[in-house]
Structure 1
Amino acid sequence: MPLYDFRCAECGLFDASMPMSEVGPSTACPSCGQHAPRAITAPRLGRGASTAMRVHDATARTASDPGVVSGALPGGPRRSSRPVSTDPRHRLLPRP
């Protein structure tokens, strides 16, 4: 359900969660019960704490601040897992 902001003259700003079909230009303040008109605020479009948002932010950050490698990879040099052929005819094959 959407979250709407209302401003009470006595209590100040408060949030109210209600269906879009039931929201009006004003509502009663939960603290004092006075008429509180709806406040105009910026929309809350995303969930900043979600896992998807954190991954998106981390991915975007690598474009401007890439990690710098300062040494060799752990585990030493990597060896190919494929066996090397000793057949001289294989040297004549086209290479990709």
Structure 2
Amino acid sequence: MPRYEFRCTAGHTFDAIYAMADVPDRSPCTECGADASRRPTAPHLGRTGSAAFGLIDRAARSADAPEVVSGAIPGASSRRPTRYTDNPAHQKLPRL
């Protein structure tokens, strides 16, 4: 939802969030309770860089069409763990 800036007659400014269809021209001040009028402000578009938007788009796409991994996970060991050991104490353990 958009954020709107209001200023009361005492000079206090505050931001409020309203739906675009429900935004009032006046709102009570959060500090003194006086009648505050809405001030024109610039929209906060483009606050994030293209890298951030790319990350958001990739995250949204992965919900419906996740990327398929065809190789090993980076940093994971490619060799299998040793199943049997030469330690005599391990020979007494139950087999699975």
Which TM-score band (shorter chain)?
Answer: 0.3 to 0.5
TM-score by length of 1: 0.47
